[in-house]
Amino acid sequence: MNLNTLSLVNYKNFESQVFEFDSKINCFVGANGIGKTNALDAIYHLAFGKSYFNPIALQNIKHGEDFFVTEGNFTKNDRTEKIIVSLKRGQKKIIKKNGKAYDKFSQHIGFIPLVIISPADRDLIIEGSDTRRKFIDSVISQSDKSYLSELIAYNKVLSQRNALLKYFALNNTFNKDTLSIYNEQLHSYGSEIFKKRDAFLNTFIPIFKERYVAISKSEEDINLKYKSDLFDTDLNTLLDQNLNKDKALQYTSVGTHKDDLVFLIDDFPIKKFGSQGQQKSFLIALKLAQFDFIKQQSKVSPILLLDDIFDKLDENRVAQIVNLVDDDHFGQIFISDTHADRTENIIKQIHQSYKLFKL
């Protein structure tokens, strides 16, 4: 998978810009606030139809303008693929593949396999379970269309059940038959989601552990633990057991939408007991394992985006990362850094062709 050219119009701080990329390594360098991360985010946007850093779509339009357009020309399995993502104020976002607009954005997920490693990933450690669930869902969805469909359907039913619970509370009424219909649907979709998450993590965790050892060169015992209510009982039973609680709260308090992924170092939460370097190595290993898993499933090398990757890492850990990506296992890589000299010195250690873009 290769991105050959990127064209931006009114995207964030770019008024009009065209990039032509090297097939291996591409580096965006420049001062903070100059648009390095925005360039990487534009590439992410083409793969996922949304920004990695800003969920509010309109805020990706350049200040004072009415629209943005991002266009990428890719090569995948020796075929040229043109992807366009555009948004105009007051209208719906459009994603086009080779000139044809998608009916549903979910149809596009997985077509451009891509992994991003960024300082923003620290949210996976410090934020709530929702952030970690999104990580699991993003990895599985890139290679399993049925999982994404089940996830969308589950969230739709969940929203309807929550609305019904609010309606019961507001109108001082209750209808068990109507609620049981939603319970059955949540049970059906939720059970499949749970099984696929569990199976995914059984495959993913050994890959992740191997990556961490390669980066840190340490004896630390790191692990991921999947937490779900469905390990104890089925979702239908859980919903029945928590009915009174749900009626009082006016939302659904149990289910796969409450699952979590616990990050551990020596059996303790890494959030509290991991150093800054250990946390960063943990997150990089997590994302490189994501790369390995997607490549294994799709038989295509994902594009790898490394945003400010060398920040807060000692030279030893930087060297380990450089050695890891100096490998035919990886395809095209995009890097952002504030120090042009540092980047070039590091890249010269990698025996691959590269391009430097000074913004």
Helical ranges in 73-175 per DSSP H = 123-126, 129-141, 145-171
Q: What is the pLDDT of residue 344?
A: 82
pLDDT per position in the chain (359 positions), as tens?
999 999 999 999 999 999 999 999 999 998 888 899 999 999 999 999 999 999 899 999 999 999 999 999 999 999 999 999 999 999 999 999 999 999 999 999 999 999 999 999 999 999 999 999 999 999 999 989 999 999 999 999 999 999 999 999 999 999 999 999 999 999 999 999 999 999 999 999 999 999 999 888 777 899 999 999 999 999 999 999 999 999 999 999 999 999 999 999 999 999 999 998 899 889 999 999 999 999 999 999 999 999 987 776 666 666 667 677 777 788 899 999 888 888 888 888 777 889 999 98
Asked, for residue 119, whether it belongs to a domain, the answer is no
Q: Could you tell me the two tokens for 315?
A: 């030279």
89 and 136 share one domain = no
Domain boundary among 283, 298, 313: 298
161 and 237 share one domain = yes
> Rounded to the nearest 5°, which phi and psi values hold at 117?
-120, 120
197 and 277 share one domain = yes
Asked, for residue 249, whether it belongs to a domain, the answer is yes
293 and 304 share one domain = no
275 and 308 share one domain = no
147 and 294 share one domain = yes
Domain boundary among 281, 298, 315: 298
Domain boundary among 257, 275, 298: 298
**Other CB atoms within 10 Å distance of the CB of residue 78:** 5
> Rounded to the nearest 5°, which phi and psi values hold at 89?
-55, 135
**Other CB atoms within 10 Å distance of the CB of residue 123:** 16
Asked, for residue 123, whether it belongs to a domain, the answer is no
CATH number where 330 lies: 3.40.50.300
**Which residues are 225's β-sheet partners?**
262
Q: What is the pLDDT of residue 28?
A: 94
Q: What is the pLDDT of residue 106?
A: 93
Q: Structurally, how many domains does the chain consist of?
A: 2
Q: Domain span at residue 136?
A: 128-298
CATH number where 201 lies: 1.20.1050.90
Asked, for residue 120, whether it belongs to a domain, the answer is no
Asked, for residue 121, whether it belongs to a domain, the answer is no
What is the chain's alpha carbon radius of gyration, rounded to the nearest angstrom? 22
228 and 334 share one domain = no
Asked, for residue 137, whether it belongs to a domain, the answer is yes
Q: What is the pLDDT of residue 137?
A: 97
256 and 197 Cβ atoms separated by less than 8 Å = yes
Asked, for residue 118, whether it belongs to a domain, the answer is no
Q: Which of 291, 6, 250 is nearest to 142 (CA)?
A: 291
358 and 219 share one domain = no
106 and 162 share one domain = no
Q: What is the pLDDT of residue 18?
A: 97
105 and 193 share one domain = no
Asked, for residue 240, whether it belongs to a domain, the answer is yes
244 and 274 share one domain = yes
Q: What is the pLDDT of residue 314?
A: 65
Q: What is the pLDDT of residue 330?
A: 86
232 and 280 share one domain = yes
